[in-house]
């Protein structure tokens, strides 16, 4: 279904004929390895477990993404349901139908009301991920959100870090800025300020500014 420098994603079916997505992490370049390290260092789950072997590193990275999906799914955020992980292979719910994946947020054309609804629900999920799962996505944008049957799904969560990570606050602000920029500059919505979004997500405000 998709191919990047670090992984390939395939469509498949389980033994009951249900659609599944299979993500296989590849042996990657030294530069990509360097890019992963900043998301592992400072994370108490993996701080002292960073292997020198690239193969083992990719297995660790797949396990990290699986755990992040589990925590986000348990928190009630809209993400593909994680199924299992083995070494460098991650299996999860397929978002789409019979091998045709759902479009990304950047690829859809919706009504203003539909965009508003997705924006509000997306911010609610960022809040759940922060306050309940205690994670920050770290790379959230219109490229990491799928739209299927009127619902959004947050994907590609391998780089997500615990809120205790030394760069978590920086990553959260970047995530919110990316999402806000898409909905204001590309879609043309009037949305709350970055400061308002941040305060709502971290719990400094109990309600999101009306839009």
Query: Is pLDDT above 90 for 60?
Result: no
CATH number of the 2-97 domain: 3.30.200.20
The pLDDT of residue 36: 66
pTM of the model: 0.87
Nearest-angstrom CA–CA distance, 154 and 141: 9
Nearest-angstrom CA–CA distance, 119 and 122: 5
Q: Give pLDDT tens digits for 159-170.
A: 999 999 999 999
Could you tell me the two tokens for 194?
């970055």
Residues annotated as part of the active site: 139, 156
Domain boundaries, the chain: 2-97, 100-202
The pLDDT of residue 205: 76
Of 106, 178, 107, nearest in space to 138 by CA: 178
Helical residues (DSSP H) of 46-183, grouped into ranges: 54-74, 112-131, 168-181
- End-to-end C-alpha distance for the chain, whole angstroms: 36
Q: Give pLDDT tens digits for 4-35.
A: 667 889 999 999 989 999 999 886 555 566 66
CATH number of the 100-202 domain: 1.10.510.10
The pLDDT of residue 148: 96
């Amino acid at each position: 279904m998709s191919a990047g420098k670090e992984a390939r994603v395939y469509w498949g079916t389980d033994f009951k004929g249900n659609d599944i997505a299979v993500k296989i992490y590849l042996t990657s370049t030294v530069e990509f390895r360097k890019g992963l390290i900043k998301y592992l260092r400072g994370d108490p789950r993996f701080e002292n477990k960073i292997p020198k072997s690239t193969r083992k590193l990719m297995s660790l990275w797949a396990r990290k993404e699986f755990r992040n999906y589990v925590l986000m799914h348990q928190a009630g955020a809209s993400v593909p349901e994680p199924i299992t992980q083995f070494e460098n292979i991650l299996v999860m719910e397929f978002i789409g139908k019979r091998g045709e994946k759902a479009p990304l947020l950047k690829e859809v054309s919706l009504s203003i009301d539909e965009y508003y609804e997705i924006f509000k629900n997306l911010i609610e999920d960022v809040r759940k991920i922060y306050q309940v799962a205690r994670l920050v996505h770290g790379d959230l944008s219109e490229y990491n959100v799928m739209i299927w049957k009127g619902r959004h799904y947050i994907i590609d969560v391998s780089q997500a870090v615990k809120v205790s990570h030394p760069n978590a606050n920086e990553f959260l602000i970047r995530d919110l800025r990316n999402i806000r920029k898409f909905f204001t500059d590309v879609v043309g919505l009037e949305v709350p300020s970055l400061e308002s979004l941040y305060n709502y997500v971290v719990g400094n405000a109990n309600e999101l500014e009306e839009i």
